[in-house]
Amino acid sequence: MKLTTKLLAATAIMSASAVSAVELEVTHWWTSGGEAAAVSKFAEAWNATGNTWIDGAIAGSGGTARPIIISRILGGDPMAATQLNHGRQAEELIEAGLMLDLTDVAEAGGWKDIVNPSSLLDSCTLDGRIYCVPVNIHSAQWLWLSHDAYEKAGVPVPTNWNEFVASAPALEAAGLVPLAMGQQGWQQNLAFGAITIAVAGLDAWRDVTVNKNADTARGPEYTAVFQAVADARELARGSNVQDWNQATNMVITGMAGAQLMGDWAQGEFSVAQQVEGQDYSCLPGLGLNAILDTGGDAFYFPVNDDPEITAAQKELAALLISPEVQVSFNLAKGSLPVRGDIDMAAANGCMQKGLGILADGGILPSGDQSLSADTQTQIEDLMAEFWSGDMPAAEAQARYADLIAAAD
């Protein structure tokens, strides 16, 4: 009876705007080939309801898009729905009463019973109310390797980060860039985080990122991290691209041996019709730790004064987390679904690795869930400065520790 009631309530919410078609503008920063293919799954599903998805793609990374999104909401020109990362990015907007409360949709759909891990829904919750719908799990700790590049270099494809570092001289001798890296702070910070877990280990990472212990950030574990990152900086010196997908393309075309990038890189390999295990390899946890963070994307719905739009927003929220849409979107995106009750047998080898780690409980919170947007931005700025110049590792560590000490 309880399940039947939930299903009836969910159906009522999803049917609320079906009587008259509604156009909803949806903003996001998914503009690469793989990302565009994935977001089209959402658009197709929404359009199939008789409503219309007005695509508001914003070129550039989240760092470029978020200020534009927030400015529009604060300026009284809100979109109907917007992508953000689940975590603390919308905290102030929620506190200001600018985001739609989705608690009734979540309760009707039984989100608390299906979202896995539960921390994803927790990150959408403030003061017991739910303000976003998580749509995927993205993890940053992946090393992507080009089989073509290693064939040119005449050495085996590495199976972990240490083997990759050891293979760098052979790649350079073959005229290849060892490590593809886009020149943006968020990419460099992502690489820093992945290397931190591999070098310092989970306990030290958690003590700094979650507990904000600046003493650990100044300690020997992080000294080793910053030296490893300085070494990685040298391996990426020949990588002069800007965007992450351009760096991924260097791996796809065999111009670079590897890239440190989140699992969304799978979408680019898929669009290029490359096959995991044949054309490229993917190493979660850099092949050293079977652990992944549970970052990812969620959709928020700014408050508006039109009841018809509000009903449509809730209909879209329910649709985004529905089983069929979760499968189609995440297969295209390369991310893991937020639902723990759907069949992902069609997932490729990389996704299956991620699903296995998730099933084994090898997860940790993402930086977006632990650090404020302001602290994240300051760390990204530091990483951009560090990777683009010759800042000594010790100086970068000291400045990083100061940021952790001041983190909220």
Say yes or no to pLDDT of 120 above 50: yes
Residue 375 sits in the same domain as residue 401: yes
- DSSP assignment, residue 147? H
pLDDT score, position 8? 40
pLDDT at position 295: 81
- The verdict on 241 and 387 lying in the same domain is yes
Domain count, the chain: 2
Q: Is there a single domain that holds both residue 51 and residue 176? A: no
For residue 14, pLDDT over 80 is answered with no
Dist CA 85 CA 26 (whole Å): 15
Same domain, 155 and 278: yes
Per-residue pLDDT, 16: 42
What is the number of alpha carbons within 13 Å of residue 61 lying toward its C-beta? 17
Mean pLDDT of 23-48: 96
For residues 311 and 279, membership in a common domain is answered with: no
Range of the domain at 318: 22-138+295-359
Same domain, 311 and 209: no
pLDDT band at 13 (very low <50, low <70, confident <90, very high): very low
User: How many Cβ atoms sit within 10 Å of the Cβ of residue 319?
Assistant: 18
Reply yes or no on whether the pLDDT at 10 is more than 90: no
Cα 247 from Cα 255, distance rounded (Å):
10
Mean pLDDT, range 58-65, rounded to an integer? 88
pLDDT band at 364 (very low <50, low <70, confident <90, very high): confident
Query: Is residue 3 scored above 50 in pLDDT?
Result: no
Query: Residue 20's pLDDT band (boundaries 50, 70, 90)?
Result: low
Asked whether residue 364 is domain-assigned, the answer is no
The reply to whether 232 and 339 lie within a common domain is no
Are residues 116 and 155 located together in one domain of the fold?
no
pLDDT band at 9 (very low <50, low <70, confident <90, very high): very low
Over range 186-205, report the average pLDDT: 93
Q: Is residue 245 part of a domain?
A: yes
Q: What is the predicted pLDDT for the residue at 292?
A: 85
Residue 383, classed as helix, strand or coil, is helix
Q: How many residues does the chain have?
A: 408
Q: Is the pLDDT of residue 7 over 70?
A: no
CB 131 within 8 A of CB 144: no
Mean pLDDT of the chain: 92
- 5 within some domain: no
- Is there a single domain that holds both residue 381 and residue 239? yes
What pLDDT does 5 receive? 41
Considering the domain architecture, whether residues 193 and 132 belong to the same structural domain is answered as no
CB 161 within 8 A of CB 195: yes
CA–CA distance, 251 with 177 (Å, rounded to integer): 9
* Residue 91 within any structural domain of the chain: yes
pLDDT at 89: 78
> Which positions ≥6 away from 316 have C-beta within 8 Å?
24, 26, 46, 51, 80, 81, 299, 301
**Residue 83 located in a structural domain:** yes
Across-strand partners of 298? 84, 134
Band (pLDDT 50/70/90 cuts) for residue 323 is very high
- Mind listing the pLDDT tens digit for each residue in 156-185? 999 999 999 999 999 999 999 999 999 999
Tokens representing residue 17 in the block: 């705007």
307 and 183 part of one domain: no
Q: What is the CATH number of the domain that holds 55?
A: 3.40.190.10
Is the pLDDT higher at 302 or at 343? 302
The residue from 322, 339, 359 where one domain ends is 359
Of 33-42, 100-109, 360-369, 377-386, the one with minimum mean pLDDT is: 360-369
The pLDDT tens digits of the residues spanning 221-261 come to 999 999 999 999 999 999 999 999 999 999 999 999 999 99
- Establish if 4 belongs to a structural domain: no
pLDDT digits (tens, 9 = 90+) for 378-391: 999 999 999 999 99
Please check the confidence at residue 19 and state whether its pLDDT lies above 70.
no
Tens digits of residue pLDDT in 132-150? 999 999 898 999 999 999 9
Residues 375 and 229 in one domain: yes
The answer to whether 198 and 285 have CB atoms below 8 angstroms apart is yes
Average pLDDT over residues 256-282: 95
Residue 365 lies in a domain: no
| Residue 312 resides in a domain | yes
Query: Does residue 61 surpass a pLDDT of 60?
Result: yes
